[in-house]
Amino acid sequence: MSLQNQSFSLTIPINIKYGLNVVQNELAKAIKSENKEKVLIVSDKGLVKAGLIDQLTTTLNENGIQSTIYSDVEPNPTADSVMDGLKVYTEKGCEMIIAVGGGSAMDYAKALAVVATHPGHIIEYTVGGKEITNNLPLIYAIPTTVGTGSEVTAVSVLTDSSAGRKIGVVSPYIVPNIAFIDPTLTYSLPRQHVAATGCDALVHAIESYTSISANPITDGLALQAIRMIAYNLPQTYAHEDNIEARAQVHLASTIAGVAFWYSGLGIVHSCSHPMSARYHVPHGLANAILLPYVVEHNLISNVKKYAEIARIFEPKLVLEDDMNAAKKLVPILREFLNLLDIPKDFSYLGIDFTEEAIDQLAEDAMNDHGTVHFNPRKAYKEDIINIYKKVLKS
């Protein structure tokens, strides 16, 4: 990468606290240091049922901190649902928000922080809409999956149900103030979620590394995340008691999150967002299924970088030239995903996708302006249609 023709700016406005039991040891202390007494915990019913939220509220109560639980966050949260959370936040007189869960909880909390201090509907503050000012409540993020990255980014992705599409709220002011990265909170994660969310983090890292907006700093972060995931995700999928592997993947997700926030993502995300919005495919799973197909399409755009990724998975490829190494990446990724029992395509949905449906998905992908423009190979609608036709087998 030539530096003489490049300039970039990178500021990381977030406090990342990592460690086993870091939430139990430091969360209440951090809240009290800000003189806050009433918090809203944003999560989902699954984590409440698992008892994780009770553990959290017990710790807060012991430290004189009142907590209200909002557990109605659904996968791919809708813009309208954010307004429901606002009612609870206001009625209970909450002073800050704690997001506990995966990307959906993080996205929801960040959007809720906007409407808690800005009048109107959250849709009014999506990209190109009203300005978001610096008066948001504190946001603390506690990821419980191994692949969101949303705990360190300035974007909230929501679903506009009326339009059947993903929308984004983007502002440096919605970056969580503290991200608590605590691997112990992921120990009860079902292995299917480990696979899907871990692959989501892998996609974040690969798309960050190959983005047209990548720079040497994001490259270093992305490559480290790829290494940590490639070596450890199959191990932690195979056995949840492999604590070291789980910790490696959990932290790698955050590292990849920092990388992609500053370099951007690509058309894996452009194509996966419509699958989640229209067909309710979990985000991480959609990304995982699409990854080999998009890499195959993008390969010619940056052979050297794709070769470097391949060599992380297969070190012996250092003996081969870049083109030969890069060509091996797609079969390497397919075998890696097979180890994690990721479906090869979307045929498991049992849907017969019409030409019209595929065209609509491609149109949605092309309108995903937060991702499509950073892809290393310029995306045209016909390219997106061809990718969908390969992956939407029935």
Contact 110, 156 (CB under 8 A): yes
Q: How far is CA 353 from CA 196, 216, 358, in A?
A: 23, 41, 7
Tell me the pLDDT tens digit for each residue of 49-98. Answer: 989 999 999 999 999 999 999 999 998 899 999 999 999 999 999 999 99
Q: What is the mean pLDDT of residues 252-279?
A: 95
Give the strand order in the sheet containing 38-42: 15-18, 178-181, 138-143, 96-101, 38-42, 66-70
- Tell me the torsion sign for CA atoms 196, 201, 204, 209: negative
Task: Look at residue 166 in the predicted model and tell me its pLDDT.
Answer: 86
**Residue of 44, 45, 41 lying closest to 60 (CA atoms):** 41
Q: Which domains does the chain have, with CATH numbers?
A: 15-186 (3.40.50.1970), 191-391 (1.20.1090.10)
Joined tokens for residue 122: 């959250």
How big is the CA angle at 377 (ends 373 and 276), to the nearest 5 degrees? Answer: 55
Residue type, 379: A
pLDDT given at position 4? 60
pLDDT for 346-391, tens place per residue?
999 999 999 999 999 999 999 998 899 999 999 999 999 999 999 9
Tokens of 32: 């009290």
Q: What is the pLDDT of residue 1?
A: 56
Tokens of 146: 């191994």
Q: Is the pLDDT of residue 7 over 80?
A: no
Q: Tell me what pLDDT residue 336 has.
A: 98
Q: What digits encode the pLDDT tens for the residues 199-239?
A: 999 999 999 999 999 999 999 999 999 999 999 999 999 99
Which letter does DSSP use for residue 205 in this model?
A: H
Tokens of 153: 């980014």
133-187 confidence digits (pLDDT tens): 988 999 999 999 998 899 999 999 998 888 788 888 999 999 999 999 999 999 9
10 pLDDT tier (thresholds 50, 70, 90): low
The CA-based dihedral angle spanning residues 156, 158, 163, 165, taken in that order and rounded to the nearest 10 degrees: 80
Separation between Cα atoms, residue 51 and residue 30, nearest integer Å? 22
